[in-house]
Structure 1
Amino acid sequence: MKDIYLSKHLGAFEVFSISSGTMIGAGIFVLPGLIAAKAGPASILCFLITGLIAGCAALSVSELSTAMPKSGGSYFFVSRSMGAMFGSIVGWGSLLGLTFKGAFAFIGAGDYFEALLPVSPIITALALCALITAINTAGTSVTGRLQNLVVIFMSVIFLLFIVEGLFSIKLGRFEPFFRGSPFSFLEATGMVFITYLGLIKVTAVSEEVKDPGRNLPLGILSSVAFVTVLYTMVMFVTVGVLPLGTLYTSLTPIADAARSFAGPGGFIIMVLCGLMATISTGNAAMLASSRYPFAMARDNLMPVWLSRVDDYLKTPARSILLVGVATFTLVLLVDLESIVKLGSVFNMIVFALVNASVIILRKADSSWYKPAFRSPLYPWVQVLGIAGSLILIPFMGAAAWISALVLVAAGIGWFYLFGRGKAQPEYGLRDAVRTLREKKASQLALASYDSSSHHSWRLLVPLWFSQVPGELLVLAGYLARHFDESVHLAFCNELPEQTPMAVADSGTAESLDLKECLAPLDEDMKPYFHLTNLYAVSREAGFVEMAEDYNTDLALMEWPPDTTHLRWELNRLIREMPCDMAFLLNRAMPGIERVLVASAIPEDRLKLTIAGAIAAETGASVTVMRIYSSQSKEMTSGDMELRILRSGLLYGIPLQAKVVLSDDVPGAIAREASGCDLLIVGAPHENNWLGTPFGPVVEALIEITQCPLLITRPPVTDSHRLPARLLKQIFGPHRAKNAP
C-alpha cells in the first residue's frame, strides 16, 4: 500500500472554529440542567475548573502538534512517545469519546427541535446523524466553511445573551452557592469534560493545517481562553435568571433562560441557535473522530481498508461511515447522562496520556522532537493536567470507571490480538523509559567526571576457586600498573556458622600461594598484587565486607562458564557489592590489540576507564559501538558518532566510533566482535532477583561470542538493594575474618 497524506488547506481561524465548534454546542445548550441538578449554583465553577484542566491539555497538545502535525492527533502523539500499545488505548479512547460526544450533540439537537415542532427527539437525532455522516463525505473544506459561519454567529448570540442577561440576574438564586455533597460537585465537574473535547480533538485534522507551527497553537489556545470565559459567563447568567427547580428539569436551559429576560422571541432565537450549535457540534465531533480509524489503520492497528482515501472526495470516507454507524447506535440505545459520563471518562484518560507524552518526549530530548511551540511552566502544567484528569474518574459512578478499566484492557487486548508484530511504531513505553534512563545515566557520567579520580583506582579481585585464571590476573595487572594501585586478591574459605573463626589461625583451612598464583604475570606486574585469605560464613558476604573495608573502586572477578551452582551466590554478591564490578568470562586471551566497547551510553565512565587503561598499557585500539533499532528516532548516526568522539576527548582516550542500525542487538555486537581481542559490555543497572543478573542481551552474548568478554556492572541502587538490607537486619550480618 502506498503512503497516504491529506492536503493542507486549514488556517488558524479554521483551527479555532473546529476547536470551538465542538464545544460551543451541545455542552453549553444541554449540560446546564444536568450539572446544576448535582452541584447547584456551584456548577458555574465546574465549567471553570474543567476549563483549566483542559487548558493544561491544550498547552501540551499545542506543543505536540507543532512537533508532529499528523492526522490522528492525540493517538499519534501517544503512540510516538509510548508505543503502539498505548496508542491503541488512546486511539480507541479518542474515537469512543468523540463518538459519544457526537451522540450527545444529536440527542441535544433532538430536544431543541422538539421545542419547535412536536417530533420525537430520538427520530430527529437519528435523522441528523445520518445526514451529517453524508455531509462529511464532502470533505473538510466544505464542513470547515460551515463551521466558521456557525462559530461566528454563535459567538455574537452568546455575547448578546450575556450582556442582556446580566441585568436580569437575581443574586438570591446563588444562595446557598454550594448544594449537595462534595462528591456530587466533583461528579458534575467530571461530566463537563465532554464539553471541552474540541480543545484537543482539533489536532485530529492537524495534518491538514497550513503553517502548523503558528496556526495550531494560535487556534487551540485562543479557543481555550474564549470558550472557558464564555462558558463561565453563560452559566453564571443561566443560574442567575432561572429558578433552580426550572433549571434542574429543563432540556433546553439556555432557551428557557433567554425567555425569562427576552420573552418568547428570545426563546425562539435561542432554540434555533441551540439547534444550529448542537448540529455543528455533532458535525465537528464526527469530522475529528473519523480521523482516528484512519490514523490507526495507517499504523496497522485497524484494517487497512479504513486508511484508504476516496479518490474523488479526498476524504477517509470509510472511517466516517464507521463512526456514523457507531454514533447512530449510541443515539438509539444509550441514555443522555450515561453518554455524558462515558464520553467524559474516555477523554480524561486521553488528556492524561497526552500530558504524559510531553513529559516523556521532553525528558528523552530526542533530536527529531523539535516543536515550534513549547508549553510554558513545564512540567507543572502537565502534572496538573494528569492529576486533574485522573482524580475525577472515581467520582463518575461505577459504570464510568469500570468502562475506563475496560477501555484500557480492551486497548491492550486489541494491540496483542490485532496489532502486535505489525503495528507501528514497534517500540513501546519500556523503550521510552530506557531512553530516559540512558540519558540520565549519560548526564550523571558527565557530571560526576573528575579527571583526578582516575589516577587512583583501588582494585579487589574476589576468587571463587583455588584455580586462578591467568587472563583475569593479566587484566588486573594492566589496570594496577596503569593506575599505580595495589590489587587485593581475596580467596575465601567458607566456614559453617558453628565453627569459630579461630580456625583461621590453626592452619587447617585451605589457602592460596601468592607466588604460584602470579606465575603467569610479567615480573613488573607482580609487586602490585597482595593476597588475602578470607574466612567467612558465606563467600559473597565476605567479599562484600572486604570491599567496604578497603574502599574498593572496582571488583574484578571471573565469571565461571558454568554458574548453575553459583547462581544464588553471584546474584547476592551483585546485589550487595558497594562498588563497580567487572566479570571476565574465562576465555583464552593471548594478547590485546583491538578492544570493542558496546555501550548504550557513549559517556559510560566505567567501560571507557577500563578500555582506556588497557589501551594505554597494550597499545590496543578502542572502538565504541552504539546500536539503534530501526524504529529509533533519538538522533542521527552522525550525532551519535560526534557524541562518542567527544566522550573519548573527555576521558583522554583515542577511540573510534561505530554506529549500527539493527533490530538484532546481540547479533550485531557478535558480528563486530568477531575480529576483536576483548569485548566490553555493560549489564543493566537494576538487579533481577528472579532472572539473570546481566539481562537478555548480555546472556545472549555469552552464548554466541567466542572472544574474551568483560561484563561491567554498576552497584545496585538503594531501592533495588532494599529487600537484601531488610533480610540482613532480620537475620544479622555474616561473620568474616581476614588472614594475611
Structure 2
Amino acid sequence: MPDSSEKKHRKLERTLGLGEALTIGIGTMVGAGIFVFPGLAAGQAGTAATLSFLIGGGIALLVAFSSSELATAMPENGGAYYYVSRIFGPNAGFVVGIGQWIGLVFASAFYLTGFSQYMIELLQEMGVNLGDTMVLIAFAIGIVLTFINILGTEGAGKLQNQVVISLAAILVLLFGYGILDATGLIGEASLPDTFAPKGYWPVLTTTALIFTSYLGFVQIANVAGEIKNPTQNLPRAMIGSVIVVMLLYIAALFVSTSALPNEELAEMGETAMVGVARELTGNIGALAILTAGLLATLSSANASILSSSRAVYALSKDKMIPRPISNVNDRFGTPHIALIVVGIPMTGLTLMGKIEILAEVASFLHLIVYGMICVTLIRIKYDRPWWYQADFETMGKWVVPVLGAIFSFGLIAFMESLSIYLGFGVLAVSILWYLLFVHEIEFSLPETARRAYQIEQPRIIVAVDVENPNAIPKALLKAFQNLKLLVLGYRLVPEQTSPEQSREQFEDEAEENLDNVLQDLKDLDIDLQSELVFTPNLAKTINQYSDEYHSHAVLTARPIESVNRLLVPIYSLNQISRRLASVLKALAQSSDLPISLVMMTSRESGSEEEKDITRLKQEMVTELKHAGISEQLIRSQDVDVDDIAEAVSELASEDDVVALGEPDDLERDSFFKTIHQGIQEELDCPILVVLKDEKSS
C-alpha cells in the first residue's frame, strides 16, 4: 500500500478529450466580451472594427501556434509557467506563474459579476425583480463552481461542454439569422452605410480595447497534464478555439452594425447585443441573448477557475509556494487545495461589485504571459536544447514567435496607466516573494521529453577492419540489455580499384577474418547481424548503414578487458543530444558504470559558448540524477585545452570507453573522418559515437 505522501502528491489523470479542451478555450474567450465589446467597438470604429477583431485574432493565433509547439514538447500542467521556468529558470517562471494565477483570479471574479448582472436582467425581462443582489449572486455562484471543480475534472469538463454547446447554438442561430437579414436573403438588405466612418486609425486603438476577448486559449495548456493524446489534441484545441472565437466576434460585429446605427450601438454600450437581438427577433431574441450572456459568463468563470487552479498546482508542485497546495484529493483526483486557494480570493473580489479595472489588470498580466511564451520559443529555437522535441512546429520557424512577442508586449502601451501600474505591482510583489521565500530549485525535464529518449532496444554498429581485425569490446556490449548489433566488416579499396574487383580478390580472406570476430561474440546474448563491404570511403559507408539500420550509435573496434568508466568529453555546443543521454542512462543503470562528464573549452575562458556548454552539461547531470542514476556514479569536471584529441588521450585510460555525441554542425561523413583520423589515433580504448536523434528512430 502506498504511503500517504504518495497519495497526496500523485499525478492528475488525463480525463479531458479534444471536446473538453476546445470548450475550455472557447468558453474562456466567449464570455462577457462577445456581448460587451460589439457596441463599444462599433462606437469607436464602426463596421471597420471587424478588422480589429481580425487583427486581435491574428495576434492570438501567433501566440497559439507558439504555445502549441511548446505544449506538445512539454504537455504538463502549468502551461506558460512550466515552459518559462524550464528555459529561463525558476525566477522568471515564478513571475509568469503568478501572472497566470492572479490574472485568472481577477478575470474569474469579473466573469462572475457579469453572470450576476445577466441573471438579474434576464429575471427582470421575465417580470421577476431581485433588487440589488448582484454581489450575493456572484459570491454564491463562485462557491458553487469551485465546489463542482473539486468534485472532479471530468465533471467540470462535461459542464463546460454542455454550457459552451448551448451558448454556441444560441449565438449561431442569432448571428446566422442576422447575416441572412443583413444580406437581404430574408427581407430587405440592411448592410452598414459606411465601413469606416471615422477612418482606419481607430481600428488599431479598438484592437487594444477588444483584445481581452482573446484571453483564454492558452489556459488550455494549463490543464495539458489532464488532456488525452496531448501531442494532437493540444494544438487542435488551442488553434481551433481561436479561429472559432474570431469568427464569432466578426459575425457579432457585422450583425450589430447591420441591425442598428453605430451611434445607437455606442449609446447602448454594454447592453448593445440585447438591443440588436430585440431589433432582429423581438423580445424572444432579447431573452435568448440574455440567456446566452448568462451561459457565456458562466463558462468563462468555470474555465478560468479550472485553469487558474492548475497554475497554482504547478507552482506548488515545484515548491515555489507551500507544497501541500498541490495535494491531489484521493477521492476526486483533483487539486482541491489549489482550487480553494483560487476560490477564496475570487469570491472575495466579487464582493467589490464593479471590478473593470481589475479585469484590465488581468489582461495586462495575460499579455505579459503571452509575450513570454513567444520569447521562450525564440530562446529554444536559438539554443536548441538537447532534450527538446516538439510534435508540432510553428510555421516560419522564427517569424511566428518574434511577431507574437512584439504584438503582445506592444498592446500593453494602449492600456490605461493605472492598469499598467497595478500590473507591474503584482509582478514586483511576486519577485519579492521569490527572493524571500523560494529556495534554490532544480528542475527535471518534462515527462514526455524524458520518455522520448528512452531506448528499448539499442542498435549499434561496430566497424571492423577485416584486413587487420581488432577485437570487439565485449565488456561494453555486455553492459547493454536487449542489444541489437551489426558488425560491419570492411576492407578499404584504393580509389583507382573498383570494390567489385577487390571483393573478387580478397572476399574469402575477409569472410574468414570476419567469422573469427563473430565467433568471439557467440557467447553474448544479443541480436547479432553482420555485413561485409569493400569501400573506398569508410565514413560514407558507415553513414549509409547508420541510416538503413536506424542505428543509435557506432562503436569502434578496440580490445578491452573490462570497462571501468564512461568518459564523456563535451567540447561542442551542439554535441549534447537526447540520444547521448539515453545511451548513458542505459549503460549506467544496467551496469553501475561511473560517468565522467568533462567540459573542454579553450584557454580563452568566459566566452558565451562556454557558458552555454556549462549550462547544457548541468542539464545532463540533472537528468541523469532524475533517471535514477546514483549521484556517486556521476563525476563532472572542467578542463582548458589546446588540442581536443590530446586532452581526451590524457584523460582516458585503457579501461575506459569514450562516449561522444555527434554534433549538429558537422556532416556525418566529416565527423566520422574526424573520429578515425583524430581522437581515435590518440586512444587505446574504444569510442562510442552516439548519433544525432533525427538520423535514427
Q: TM-score, normalised by structure 1?
A: 0.59
The residue that corresponds to 2:370 in the other structure is: 351
Q: Is the 8 A contact 1:56 1:385 kept in 2?
A: yes
Call closer, same or farther: CA 1:176–1:18 in 2, change over 3 Å: closer
Q: Is the 8 A contact 2:45 2:203 kept in 1?
A: yes
The residue that corresponds to 2:246 in the other structure is: 228
Call closer, same or farther: CA 1:611–1:180 in 2, change over 3 Å: closer
User: After superposition, what is the alpha-carbon deviation per residue over 1:571-595, rounded to whole angstroms, capped at 9, x for unaligned?
Assistant: xxxxxxxxx99589xxxxxxxxxxx
The residue that corresponds to 1:42 in the other structure is: 48
1:153 to partner: Cα distance: 2.2
The residue that corresponds to 1:91 in the other structure is: 97
Call closer, same or farther: CA 1:33–1:610 in 2, change over 3 Å: same
The residue that corresponds to 2:692 in the other structure is: none
1:172 to partner: Cα distance: 7.1
Q: Which amino acid aligns with 1:151?
A: V
The residue that corresponds to 2:70 in the other structure is: 64
Q: Which amino acid aligns with 2:411?
A: L
The residue that corresponds to 1:205 in the other structure is: 223
Residue in structure 2 matching 1:652, options 666, 678, 684: 678
3-state SS, counterpart of residue 137 of structure 1: helix
Match runs of 1:231-250 below 5 Å: 231-248=249-266, 249-250=268-269
3-state SS, counterpart of residue 376 of structure 1: coil
Q: Which amino acid aligns with 1:298?
A: K
User: After superposition, what is the alpha-carbon deviation per residue over 1:637-693, rounded to whole angstroms, capped at 9, x for unaligned?
Assistant: 96649999969628723467999xxxxxxxxxxxxxxxxxxxxxxxxxxxxxxxxxx
The residue that corresponds to 1:127 in the other structure is: 140
Call closer, same or farther: CA 1:37–1:290 in 2, change over 3 Å: farther
Larger mean CA deviation between 371-380 and 243-252 belongs to 243-252
Q: Which has the higher contact order (CA 8 A, sep 6+)?
A: 2
The residue that corresponds to 1:218 in the other structure is: 236
Call closer, same or farther: CA 1:414–1:16 in 2, change over 3 Å: same
Call closer, same or farther: CA 1:188–1:336 in 2, change over 3 Å: farther
Q: Is the 8 A contact 1:259 1:265 kept in 2?
A: yes
Q: Which amino acid aligns with 2:235?
A: P
Match runs of 1:233-312 below 5 Å: 233-248=251-266, 249-312=268-331
Q: Which amino acid aligns with 1:649?
A: I
Q: Is the 8 A contact 2:371 2:405 kept in 1?
A: yes
Q: Is the 8 A contact 1:83 1:426 kept in 2?
A: no
Match runs of 1:520-599 below 5 Å: none
1:609 to partner: Cα distance: 4.9
1:235 to partner: Cα distance: 1.7
Call closer, same or farther: CA 1:390–1:582 in 2, change over 3 Å: closer
Q: Is the 8 A contact 1:100 1:343 kept in 2?
A: yes
Q: Is the 8 A contact 1:300 1:424 kept in 2?
A: no
The residue that corresponds to 1:412 in the other structure is: 431
Q: Is the 8 A contact 2:135 2:353 kept in 1?
A: no
1:262 to partner: Cα distance: 0.6
Q: Is the 8 A contact 1:308 1:316 kept in 2?
A: yes
Give me the whole-angstrom Cα distance separating, in 2, the residues matched to 1:611 and 1:23. 56
The residue that corresponds to 1:166 in the other structure is: 179
1:263 to partner: Cα distance: 0.5
3-state SS, counterpart of residue 222 of structure 2: helix
Call closer, same or farther: CA 1:312–1:33 in 2, change over 3 Å: same
Call closer, same or farther: CA 1:329–1:147 in 2, change over 3 Å: same
3-state SS, counterpart of residue 199 of structure 1: coil
Residue in structure 2 matching 1:313, options 325, 328, 332: 332
The residue that corresponds to 2:474 in the other structure is: none
Give me the whole-angstrom Cα distance separating, in 2, the residues matched to 1:89 and 1:213. 27
Give me the whole-angstrom Cα distance separating, in 2, the residues matched to 1:601 and 1:25. 43
Q: Is the 8 A contact 2:171 2:292 kept in 1?
A: no
Q: Is the 8 A contact 1:258 1:270 kept in 2?
A: yes
Q: Is the 8 A contact 1:72 1:291 kept in 2?
A: yes
User: After superposition, what is the alpha-carbon deviation per residue over 1:684-710, rounded to whole angstroms, capped at 9, x for unaligned?
Assistant: xxxxxxxxxxxxxxxxxxxxxxxxxxx
Residue in structure 2 matching 1:141, options 154, 175, 178: 154
User: After superposition, what is the alpha-carbon deviation per residue over 1:195-252, rounded to whole angstroms, capped at 9, x for unaligned?
Assistant: 2222111111110111111111122222122111121111221222133344233433
The residue that corresponds to 1:527 in the other structure is: none
Call closer, same or farther: CA 1:600–1:344 in 2, change over 3 Å: closer
Give me the whole-angstrom Cα distance separating, in 2, the residues matched to 1:62 and 1:581. 39
The residue that corresponds to 2:479 in the other structure is: none
The residue that corresponds to 1:153 in the other structure is: 166
User: After superposition, what is the alpha-carbon deviation per residue over 1:271-307, rounded to whole angstroms, capped at 9, x for unaligned?
Assistant: 1111112111111111111111111001111111211
Q: Which amino acid aligns with 1:74?
A: A
Q: Is the 8 A contact 2:48 2:200 kept in 1?
A: no
User: After superposition, what is the alpha-carbon deviation per residue over 1:308-360, rounded to whole angstroms, capped at 9, x for unaligned?
Assistant: 11222211111111211222233233634313321211111010001111122
Q: Which amino acid aligns with 2:12?
A: L
Call closer, same or farther: CA 1:175–1:658 in 2, change over 3 Å: farther
User: After superposition, what is the alpha-carbon deviation per residue over 1:491-550, rounded to whole angstroms, capped at 9, x for unaligned?
Assistant: xxxxxxxxxxxxxxxxxxxxxxxxxxxxxxxxxxxxxxxxxxxxxxxxxxxxxxxxxxxx
3-state SS, counterpart of residue 270 of structure 2: coil
Q: Which amino acid aligns with 1:100?
A: F
Call closer, same or farther: CA 1:609–1:312 in 2, change over 3 Å: same
Give me the whole-angstrom Cα distance separating, in 1, the residues matched to 2:602 and 2:149. 64
Match runs of 1:620-635 below 5 Å: 621-623=649-651
Larger radius of gyration: 1
Q: Which amino acid aligns with 2:259?
A: V
The residue that corresponds to 1:628 in the other structure is: none
1:94 to partner: Cα distance: 0.9
Q: Is the 8 A contact 1:22 1:285 kept in 2?
A: yes
Call closer, same or farther: CA 1:150–1:426 in 2, change over 3 Å: closer
1:365 to partner: Cα distance: 1.9
The residue that corresponds to 2:454 in the other structure is: none
The residue that corresponds to 1:12 in the other structure is: 18
Q: Is the 8 A contact 2:52 2:210 kept in 1?
A: yes
Unaligned runs of 5+ in 1: 428-579, 585-597, 626-636, 660-740
Give me the whole-angstrom Cα distance separating, in 2, the residues matched to 1:582 and 1:192. 56
Call closer, same or farther: CA 1:297–1:161 in 2, change over 3 Å: same
Give me the whole-angstrom Cα distance separating, in 1, the residues matched to 2:613 and 2:377. 27
Give me the whole-angstrom Cα distance separating, in 2, the residues matched to 1:355 and 1:149. 32
Residue in structure 2 matching 1:395, options 414, 422, 425: 414
Residue in structure 2 matching 1:32, options 34, 38, 47: 38
Call closer, same or farther: CA 1:302–1:164 in 2, change over 3 Å: same
Q: Is the 8 A contact 2:109 2:346 kept in 1?
A: yes
Query: Percent of pairs identical after alignment?
Result: 32
The residue that corresponds to 1:701 in the other structure is: none
Give me the whole-angstrom Cα distance separating, in 2, the residues matched to 1:332 and 1:82. 37
Q: Which amino acid aligns with 2:27?
A: G
3-state SS, counterpart of residue 652 of structure 1: helix
Q: Is the 8 A contact 1:254 1:270 kept in 2?
A: yes
Call closer, same or farther: CA 1:45–1:311 in 2, change over 3 Å: same
Give me the whole-angstrom Cα distance separating, in 2, the residues matched to 1:323 and 1:583. 52
Match runs of 1:337-348 below 5 Å: 337-348=356-367
Unaligned runs of 5+ in 2: 124-128, 183-188, 446-600, 606-611, 618-638, 688-697
The residue that corresponds to 2:627 in the other structure is: none
Say whether residues 1:81 and 2:109 are aligned partners.
no
1:623 to partner: Cα distance: 3.3
